[in-house]
Amino acid sequence: MTNRDENLSCLLDDHAVKNLESAVDELVGDVNLQYRMRRYRLIGETMRHELPDTIDNDFHHRVMARIGEEVSAPTAKPASADDSSRSAAIWSWVTLKPFAGLAVAATVAIVTVSLWQPVSKQAGQGDDALVLADQQKVELFAGGQIQGIVVPASTRGMRWKVSKNVPGFQQKLNAYLVNHTEHSNSMQGLIPQARVAGFDAQQ
């Protein structure tokens, strides 16, 4: 295993990396390394049984077909909506309805499988300083057309306070909480919904 591969493996496995900044720079600048990282990540997910049952590869065809229908038959908007800024958005609520039977709980798990949060914790530095440095890398990823890599919006925010930090445990608790919110009927205003809507930005 080369040094680069070793660094990559360490990044993904949450282990300490000798020179974090250069490892990240190398990763950002090397497309082959990025593809390799995706393969390693896939292997890791397979071993941890975190893969989805199936991935609906036909989804985008149906999405585009439906968008075409929406364009040809525009729908009325709410009277009080000031939607000028969204006039281009043609995706409507009903478009998503046929796709039922998926688990949002697991999406939280997906979104939380982020590369950069573990990295920032490995460095043993203050979180805030690393957040700024790493977010620049994150922006590169976000704008770099590297699809399939999940990008955290923020490394701040609340996380579960757990007695023992086991990999995947936070995701499991998130999944439980989402399912709890969806299947219970608490009278707590909008707090439960806000908690779920804010999930991935925090973790």
Partner 1 sequence: MKFLSKTLLLITVSIAASGAAIADPAMDWIQKMSDAMRNLNYRGNFVYLHEGQLESMEISHARDSSGEKERLISLNGEAREVLRDNQNLTCIWPSSRKVVVDNVRKNSFSPIFIPEDIARIEKSYGMKIIGRDRIANMATVVVQINPRDNLRYGMKFWINEANGLMMKSSLINEHGEEVEQVMFTSIELFEGGETLVLDTISQLDDSYTMIRFHSGDSSMPFTVDNAWQLATPPGGFWRDSALKRKSPGSDYFVQQMVYTDGLASLSVFIERHTGGTPAGSSSMGAVNAYIRILNDHSITAIGEVPAITVRQVAESITYQAQ
Say if residue 159 is exposed, middle or buried (CB neighbours under 10 Å; 0-12, 13-18, 19+).
middle
Q: Does 73 bind partner 1 (CB under 8 A)?
A: no
The CB-of-6 to partner 1 minimum distance in angstroms stands at 26
Q: Which two tokens stand for residue 154?
A: 């923020």
CB nearer partner 1, residue 18 or residue 169: 169
CB nearer partner 1, residue 17 or residue 138: 138
Residue from 32, 79, 84, 132 binding partner 1 (CB under 8 A) = 79
Residue from 12, 33, 105, 133 binding partner 1 (CB under 8 A) = 105
Q: Does 5 bind partner 1 (CB under 8 A)?
A: no
Residue from 1, 73, 81, 132 binding partner 1 (CB under 8 A) = 81
Query: Which residue is it, tokens 């919904």?
Result: 193
Q: Which range of residues in 7-15, 18-26, 30-38, 77-85 is near partner 1 by CB under 8 A? A: 77-85
Residues in Cβ contact with 92 at an 8 Å cutoff, skipping those fewer than 6 apart? 70, 75
DSSP letter string, 137-154? HHHHHHHTT-TT----S-
User: Residue 22: in which H helix or E strand, if any?
Assistant: helix 20-29
Instruction: Please give the backbone phi and psi of residue 122, each rounded to the nearest 5 degrees, phi first.
Output: -70, -30
x-marked contacts with partner 1 along 13-52 as a string, rule CB under 8 A: ------------------------------------xxxx
Q: For 110, how many CA atoms within 13 A lie in the half-sphere containing its CB?
A: 11
Residue from 32, 47, 72, 189 binding partner 1 (CB under 8 A) = 189
